[in-house]
Amino acid sequence: MLYLIGLGLSHESDITVRGLETVKKCKTVFLEAYTSILMAADKASLEKFYGREVILADRELVESGSDTILADAKDDDVAFLVVGDPFGATTHSDLIIRARELEIQVETIHNASVMNAVGACGLQLYQFGQTVSLVFFTDTWKPDSFYDKIMENRRIGLHTLVLLDIKVKEQSIENLARGRLVYEPPRYMSIETAASQLLEIEEIRNEKAYTPDTPCVAISRLGSPSQTFKAASLQELSNYKSGEPLHSLIVLGRRVHALELDYLDAYASDPKKFREDVVKDQEYFKPAPYVPPEEPLSD
């Protein structure tokens, strides 16, 4: 049996009771180590808490060498640990498909992830549209596919959760070209970098999917003891000091419920200005006034 087990967001003890019991009975325990990190735990603390050896599974192992993970699962129990929830990344769906092809049974044990814990900022989960990812830009590579999705969400009034890039065990182009197995230090995108990149793409596209005054919510270290939220305009967040990772960002939709605004007041430096920004932003994608059809002329 292959068990996909969610670890939650922060501490080694965030794992569910069923998840912990399963880890303790598995012959082999892998920890997926590239889509996210536990903010208050590491490999050593997990091994101490589980009483088991934990094998780090990097992107190459999961995406190209899944046979290593699945090798023992035909005859024994294997645990594959994922920060957050196992279905927070498409890579894990692919692992399940490969297991099915090998006729290996799969069981999933869920846990909290950014996709539901984001509601802690006060925005209502059913008011969210498509989630997008934002990668680190380079001088020659600035992908903007996220822009159209934010536009679609905001046209129908929905908030957009923006997941920020994480680079773990990445190689430089030079080292790749030279065949050197040297990895760059881990990098985690900050709120200020994300806001600046969003503004850069808006300046290039100039389609008003959002503006410098568009209200947003910055989320830092969600689910940890140092969790923080900041409600401010996109321009203001480009100068925000977000601190230690992990971070994510929400671009508010055109429609913001009164209860959501009341909740966000606590996270705005100037609640009055933030509310004014919300009102002004609602003018974008505002539905045209209803015009009844003309009645046909009678004979």
Residue 114 in marked binding region: yes
Q: How far apart are the first and last CA of the chain?
A: 78
Q: Is 36 annotated as a binding residue?
A: no
38 annotated as ligand-binding: no
Which residues, at least 6 apart from 287, have a Cβ–Cβ distance to it below 8 Å? none
Rounded-to-10 torsion of CA 117, 122, 126, 129: -80
Contact in structure between 163 and 132 (CB atoms under 8 Å): yes
3-state SS, residue 31: strand
> The tokens of 188 are what?
């985690």
The answer to the question of whether 9 is labelled as a binding residue is: yes
Q: Which residues contact 270 (CB under 8 A, 6 or more apart)?
A: none
DSSP string covering 97-165, please? HHHHHTT--EEEE----HHHHGGGGS--GGGB---EEEPPP-SS----HHHHHHHHHHHTT-BEEEEEP
Is 297 annotated among the ligand-binding residues?
Answer: no
Q: How far apart are CA 37 and CA 247, in angstroms?
A: 11
46 annotated ligand binder:
no
Report whether 88 belongs to an annotated binding site: yes
Q: By 3-state DSSP, what share of the chain in percent is helix, strand and coil, each rounded to 5?
A: 40, 20, 45
113 marked as binding residue: yes
Are 69 and 55 in contact, with CB atoms under 8 Å apart?
A: no
Query: Cβ distance 27 to 77 under 8 Å?
Result: yes
**Please, which residues bridge with residue 217 across strands?**
231, 250
Annotated binding residues: 9, 85, 88, 113-114, 164, 222, 247
Annotated binding residues for S-adenosyl-L-methionine: 9, 85, 88, 113-114, 164, 222, 247
